Amino acid sequence: MRTLTVEYLQDKILDGERLSPEEGLFLLEKADLTTLGFLADQIRRKFHPDNVVTFVIDRNVNYTNVCVAGCKFCAFQRSVGSPEGYVLPLEEIIRKVQELVDWGGTTLLMQGGLNPNLRLGFYEELIATIKSKFPQIQIHSFSAPEIVYLAKLERMSVRDVLLRLKEAGLDSLPGGGAEILSNDVRAFLSPGKCTADQWEEVHRTAHELGMTSTATMMFGHVERPHHILEHLERVRRIQDDTGGFTAFIPWTFKKGGTQLDHLEEVSSVYYLKVLALSRVYLDNFRNIQSSHVTQSMKVGVIGLHFGANDLGSVMMEENVISSTGYKVSIPRVEDMVKAIRSAGFTPAQRDTYYRIVKTFQ
């Protein structure tokens, strides 16, 4: 068996060969930041020779904060019966979507807790009402844990729940709730959420039904490097089979009001290493997103030189990460355009499906 070296793996990557999980782990643990960044940038250039970096105008509407999952990393959730728990009235959600339309947005991201009081009919009415009033808005909503929990409540299959939601007007699924797709990690981190296999089932089923989705990873807490590779290998395998993921979006754990506040947050250097490895390892993903939300815009644009070709969203609203006390800076369109240009790229607004809406020359 060949002895692994960074030089050998660099040649392998530049020749377009696929990495094994063992090789990916070796790079994460042994390669320096600049080497990984160089390799990721080379792969990005193959996918995006036009040097365009995209962003989306969206709104993240958290329709409820009542949740029974009990995730140790979450400061947003409230228990059933909590005086701080809420479910947004339909009228308020419609008002928020109207503001999104007025802003020139294309994407509505709705996510909430695992609320036992909300049944399938609530979601169907919500989606159908939004679609009837705003047919142009792409509804990119409801994470895999929400789908699995809803299927459990209704005693239905995941497929039947997704079919009902699609018929109501659901367009695509966010990758939220993935955290780390390792059941060893999930058993400690989020024991009340769906398993890694159930997360995979939701996304495979959505793809089979003609819906797209994104894949995400929230790292920098209790996972070890081999868990990151386990996660990347799983989403790469799904993408091989279905081709239904539009993008991969890694971000880091933020502490503040969580059960994991004793942990030290990982550095921006480690974030950039994982981002770069994601681009190198996920050779079947066209789009990799850099996170200005958890890393700041300064680090977010650096990520564009470490494999990312997308800078996420101009968000009208963000509640989950903000609930930790971390100050989320929400950029305006002109801020996003300026930031992308400052990094040496051509900015472009996209939609949910990564289709270009407008290029800023």
**Residue ranges at the known binding site for (3R)-3-methyl-D-ornithine:** 143, 291, 313
Count of C-beta atoms within a 10 Å radius of residue 16? 9
Q: Binding site residues for S-adenosyl-L-methionine, as ranges?
A: 73, 179
- 340, 55 contact by CB (below 8 A): yes
Determine the residue type at 316.
M
Residues 265, 267, 270, 274, CA torsion sign: positive
Q: Binding site residues for [4Fe-4S] cluster, as ranges?
A: 67, 71, 74
3-state DSSP assignment of residue 288: strand
Give which of 39, 27, 6, 71 is closest to 225, Cα–Cα. 27
Residues 172, 178, 181, 182, CA torsion sign: negative
Give which of 85, 88, 108 is closest to 98, Cα–Cα. 108
Count of C-beta atoms within a 10 Å radius of residue 233? 17
Q: What is the Cα 239 distance to its own chain's centre?
A: 15
Q: Binding site residues, as ranges?
A: 67, 71, 73-74, 143, 179, 291, 313
